[in-house]
Amino acid sequence: MEIGIPKLDELLGEIEEGNILLLETIGTLGEEIVLEMLKKNKENAVAFVTKKMRDEFKKIPELANVKLIVLGEDVFPEELYAISFKLRNLFEGAHVGFFLLHPLLVFHPPTTVYKFFSEIASIVQEKKVVLTAIIDKRLVDERTLAMFENLATYVIDIVELIQGFKITRGLRIKKSPKGNTGFYKFEIRDGKIVIGELIG
Amino acid sequence: MYFKESDIMTRISTGIEGLDKMLKGGLIPGRSYLIKGGPGTGKTTLAIHFLMEGIKNGEKVLYITLEEPLDILKQDMKKLGFDIDNPLFMGIDATPVGERTHIFEGTHYEEFAKSFGELVKAIKERLDTEKFTRVVIDPITMVKLTIENKLEYRRTFIGFLKDLAKYNVTLLITSELHETDLEDYLVSGVIELKTYEIAGKVVRGIKILKFRGSSFDEQIRPYRLTDKGIEIYSEENIFVGD
């Protein structure tokens, strides 16, 4: 599978079925990467989203046909098993965007969410699904983040450096069978991801 | 040659697909099982699933209620889509306020409480006159709580289970008592229905504590009480914190 962002695809390499791509970020910075992945693979794309995200999806024509599983409607944060059940019953080879780690980390202790995510990783492998999840680094400690990283085959790390009024954003491949990279300049212009030169 | 465990020993379905999976094919017939759980966990619904499955196979089944009046139970079960008026379903109301059927006529719940033997005798008389394959006693809680002679109860209970085996009846007994007691040791299997509160919402879990003669799924599995009865997520985990 390719994400659909040439520079990122070049850095990551082909993503094999049955694997997890974890996007570690601040807030929702860079969630466009997951959206691009869904657009690129829209024929068999599925997304686990909040109600707010569902409304955002509606505004994007390329995502109109993506199957959505909505938190608070189709599944509930207290019932983690219902989320794993939905994933288990998806068609083989689905490309899944998973946007629920943030609300789940608010509802449950990080270790519970980690146990749940371990189950998700098993299902991803068994069902030959590619799952891209986004996690806000501020919601978990380093140890927990490392545990999440262990479950993913690919990890993209997004950082934000503020110096005075200057904000610099960087992106690196933290984990991939193809190898790690240094930080690349990372911007979002008109809703599009732009990956620039190596920083430093 | 490879045999699946379910092939080696005959199994009967509980009427709940997820529970059959947890039991590696279903219950072993001709034995007795205990269903434990607090109020509202779905013990009666599980028991009715079990009886309805028998009816689906053309079997006669017997349901004895000791707490909830039979007519109320029937109303509730009809709402879940159970064919409770099927002539193969025999319901006996042994509650203090319920309508009596002839075998239990004049024998009251309070008397059962005083003597478990009275209840057993009445059931055996019923089994002598008609061939039932599945029997439910729902629940045994009050009988147990008011028992005066524990030794007598134990003796009668053991004898009852032996007799039932002769009739080749599969028995489900429900109980609201959580602590391990006599029945837990004497029956062939114990299934517990539990509830957890997560952020103000009740999440339900089912666990097999014991199942003689078979391996079983030892994990607590989530379940829901739906408008069609009990639905068990036999592959999922419950994730209830640390």
- Minimal Cα distance from A84: which residue of B? B236
pLDDT at site B122: 83
Please indicate whether, in this complex, the C-beta atoms of B201 and A79 are within 8 angstroms of each other.
yes
Q: Which of A158-167, A184-193, B53-62, B147-156 has the highest mean pLDDT?
A: B53-62
- Minimal Cα distance from B199: which residue of A? A78
Residue A131 lies in a domain: yes
Range of the domain at B144: 29-193
- Among A78, A81, A109, whose Cβ lies nearest the Cβ of B237? A81
Q: B109 pLDDT exceeds 90?
A: no
Please indicate whether, in this complex, the C-beta atoms of B233 and A85 are within 8 angstroms of each other.
yes
Q: B5 pLDDT exceeds 60?
A: no
How do residues B28-47 score in pLDDT, each as one tens digit?
999 999 999 999 999 999 99
DSSP letter for B99, please. Answer: P
Range of the domain at A40: 6-158
State mean pLDDT over B94-99: 61
Q: Cβ(B54)–Cβ(B172) under 8 Å?
A: no
Question: Total domain count for chain A?
Answer: 1
Q: Does B196 touch chain A (CB under 8 A)?
A: no
Please indicate whether, in this complex, the C-beta atoms of B237 and A84 are within 8 angstroms of each other.
yes
**CB half-sphere exposure, A157, CA atoms < 13 A:** 16
How do residues B211-239 score in pLDDT, each as one tens digit?
999 999 999 999 999 999 999 999 999 98
Residue B116 lies in a domain: yes
What's this model's pTM, rounded to 2 decimal places?
A: 0.88
Question: Total domain count for chain B?
Answer: 1
Residue A27 lies in a domain: yes
pLDDT at site B115: 64
Residue B226 lies in a domain: no
Task: Identify all chain B residues contacting A90, using CB atoms and an 8 Å cutoff.
Answer: none
CA A185 to chain centre: 19
pLDDT at site B123: 85
- Minimal Cα distance from A108: which residue of B? B241
- Minimal Cα distance from B204: which residue of A? A79
Q: Does A86 touch chain B (CB under 8 A)?
A: no
Residues in chain A where the model's pLDDT stays below 70: 200
Q: Does B242 touch chain A (CB under 8 A)?
A: yes
Q: How far is A143 from chain B (nearest CA, A)?
A: 16
Q: Which of A102-111, B100-109, B171-180 has the highest mean pLDDT?
A: A102-111
**CB half-sphere exposure, B190, CA atoms < 13 A:** 19
pLDDT at site B103: 46
State mean pLDDT over B61-89: 94
Residue B209 lies in a domain: no
Q: Cβ(A173)–Cβ(A12) under 8 Å?
A: yes
Residues 89 through 108 of chain A touching chain B, CB cutoff 8 Å: 107-108
Residue B217 lies in a domain: no
Tokens (6 digits) for B59: 């079997």
Task: Give the residue with greater pLDDT, B152 vs B227.
Answer: B227
The CA distance from B146 to A100, in Å, is 51
Task: Match 């006669």 to its residue by tokens.
Answer: B60
Residue A153 lies in a domain: yes
Q: Does A77 touch chain B (CB under 8 A)?
A: yes
Q: Cβ(A2)–Cβ(A38) under 8 Å?
A: no
Please indicate whether, in this complex, the C-beta atoms of A115 and B237 are within 8 angstroms of each other.
yes
pLDDT at site B112: 57
Residue B15 lies in a domain: no
| CATH value at residue B86 | 3.40.50.300
Tokens (6 digits) for A101: 């780690």
Mutate to test the interface with B, among A80, A113, A114 (most CBs of B within 10 A): A80
Q: Does A79 touch chain B (CB under 8 A)?
A: yes
pLDDT at site B102: 44
| CATH value at residue A81 | 3.40.50.300
Q: B71 pLDDT exceeds 60?
A: yes
How do residues B111-129 score in pLDDT, each as one tens digit?
655 567 777 888 888 899 9
pLDDT at site B92: 87
Q: How far is A69 from chain B (nearest CA, A)?
A: 18
Q: How far is B232 from chain A (nearest CA, A)?
A: 11
The CA distance from B164 to B30, in Å, is 7
- Minimal Cα distance from B242: which residue of A? A112
Strands B201-211 and A130-136 come out as unpaired
Please indicate whether, in this complex, the C-beta atoms of A109 and B237 are within 8 angstroms of each other.
no
Looking at the DSSP bridge assignments, the partners of residue B92 are: B64
